[in-house]
Amino acid sequence: MAPAAGRWLPFGTRPDARLRLFCLPHAGAGASTYRKWAEGLPEWLDVCPVQPPGRETRVLERPFDRAGRLAAALAEQLEGELGMPYAIFGHSVGALVAFELAHRLPETACPPPVHLFVSGRRAPQLPDRHAPLRDLSLDELADRLRELGGTSEEVLRDRRLLEFITPLLRADFAVNETYDYVARPPLAVPITVFGATRDPRADRAGLAAWQVQTNCEFHLDLLDGGHFAVLEQAPLVHERVVATLRDALRTAGEGDVVTATGKTNAGEFDRYSKILRRHLPYAGDAPLPETGVLAELGLDSLGTVRLLADLEGEFDVELPDDALTEETFKTVGSLWRALRSGPPAPAGT
């Protein structure tokens, strides 16, 4: 069985990137929706499609039917992947989950995203004026999906295929339709909203209402088209996303990486990786993933002592005894975070 984070991020992450973009799919869709988004984008941007339960590689798992529960489960799995600046993108019901995730992660002592991108959904504080979709009959559901677009006619005409995906669709619709908005302080995160001129589920006023959810910059970008314009006009969306995130990196500080313990220079992580390789016989030449299990990479008890001595000497810190736990030495990322939060070594050592 794949590690939990691997199931949520089926295409993995790139530790050599400068910024990660976690992408959440619309109702009934999965990570493959964003699979090709990485093509042609700058090397510094790591597109990370998210795979919630109940679809594609996780089709045998039960899907979530509440936004808060889904965001909480995802936040728990992403904690080890936030060793650099990151942003969140969500379309339709994915926009709602992205919003909840942007609130949830800082509540768990993780750094906030540098930007939140949402598309195809009215602001979360606005009530849903549309008739619920989750209880429609199979024929009615096919008609509504046809109106929205985004589902192939082949699927809509094949009753067996439609029956197969209906439980997932009903769960995803429930995430959206049972959402109970709770007023909170605005996010200290800039928000960009992508909308469409002919989207029956999200008009301009509903999209503009997202502005109250941030005390930072806000942008509303309307595309020509329907509910799935953001996916149909991906090159244009990519251009605007890249420009926004490039500015976010400059704001964070050129060459800086944001970790759960604060901001540190990217070169320090390179130094850390080089030291690790000297003590990990199975590390190979590929970039070390933050989720890499140190024991599986060849770190044994004696090697742990030597590695710790090298790291403390290199970074001039001394980890306290209560930090020398099995959890600390579990992964590449967990050891890095413990190292960066350690106090300076006493003078003269």
How far is residue 189's CA from residue 217's CA, in Å, rounded to a whole number? 8
Tokens 């590690």 belong to residue: 3
187 token code pair: 């996010």
In this structure, are residues 188 and 83 in contact, taking their beta carbons and an 8 Å threshold?
no
**9 Cβ contact partners less than 8 Å away, ≥ 6 residues apart:** 31, 48, 49, 50, 51, 77, 81
Q: How many CA atoms lie within 13 A of 287 on its CB side?
A: 12
Angle value at C-alpha 54, between 53 and 58, nearest 5 degrees: 70
Show which residues are catalytic: 92
Task: Tell me the CA end-to-end span of the chain in Å, nearest whole number.
Answer: 45
Instruction: State the Rg of the chain over Cα.
Output: 22
Q: Which amino acid is at 251?
A: T
In this structure, are residues 216 and 210 in contact, taking their beta carbons and an 8 Å threshold?
no
How far is residue 56's CA from residue 124's CA, in Å, rounded to a whole number? 27
Chain centroid, CA 47 distance in Å? 9
**39 Cβ contact partners less than 8 Å away, ≥ 6 residues apart:** none
CB neighbourhood size of 226 (10 A): 18
How far is residue 72's CA from residue 104's CA, in Å, rounded to a whole number? 7
Q: Which amino acid is at 199?
A: D
**150 Cβ contact partners less than 8 Å away, ≥ 6 residues apart:** 26, 29, 227, 228, 231
